[in-house]
Amino acid sequence: MQLLLITGPAGVGKSTLSWEMSAQLAAAHVAHAVVESDELDRVFPRPDADALGRLQPGATDVSSINLAAIWSTYQALGHTRLIMSGVMMHLNFDKRWILSAIPEARITVVRLSAAEPTLLARLAQRETGSGADEQAQRSLRQARRMAGEEAEGIIMLPTDGKRPAELAGFILRKTGWLDIVDQQE
């Protein structure tokens, strides 16, 4: 099971890139699934440890439970490839909960980056309302922290001045996902 984990600060283009990679894979008839990690725990109120433990003993996060459930359906349909996007501020921790949901996953991490003015401009296009300023500051903090982290084993990909189609093609060629001979629907 191959998992492309698309990470980076808010506003860097993770969702757009995931959708473009999906479109390119679909055009090449390569079976795959796409999951945005933000949607795995978008629930209020957040379940406490007791509620999660009733669903899965020892569980501490609803994201892992939901990912396991979603992936079991895709796997039953014959899929072996998953594109997953999310900020992933704590990559080692995030890999652990992903692997607890999909133990057989071989994870390839792609970390997107962009200059601060680019991030702010992208966020201004999508964020509206009272939380926009807070989201912009959070994204800048995320970008600065990620820029200072170890990048060994991670595909680093600056997005400034590049189109999603160009970035998606690069990743899919680099990972071999467009070179697949046995393409199942």
pLDDT, tens digit (0-9, with 9 covering 90-100), for 8-48 = 999 999 999 999 999 999 999 999 999 999 999 999 999 99
The pTM (predicted TM-score) of the whole model is: 0.89
Lookup: tokens for 59: 């569980």
Q: Residue 185: pLDDT above 50?
A: no
- Phi, psi of 53, rounded to the nearest 5 degrees: -60, -30
Quick: pLDDT tens for 85-104.
Answer: 999 989 999 999 999 999 99
Number of H helices and number of E strands within the chain?
A: 7, 5
Domain locations in the chain? 2-175
HEC-encoded secondary structure of 39-55: HHCCCCCCCCHHHHHHH
- Domain 2-175 belongs to what architecture? 3-Layer(aba) Sandwich (3.40)
Task: Report yes or no: 168 and 20 within 8 Å, Cβ to Cβ.
Answer: yes
Give me the phi and psi of 10, to 5 degrees please: -55, 135
pLDDT score for 104: 96
User: Given this model, what pLDDT does residue 52 score?
Assistant: 92
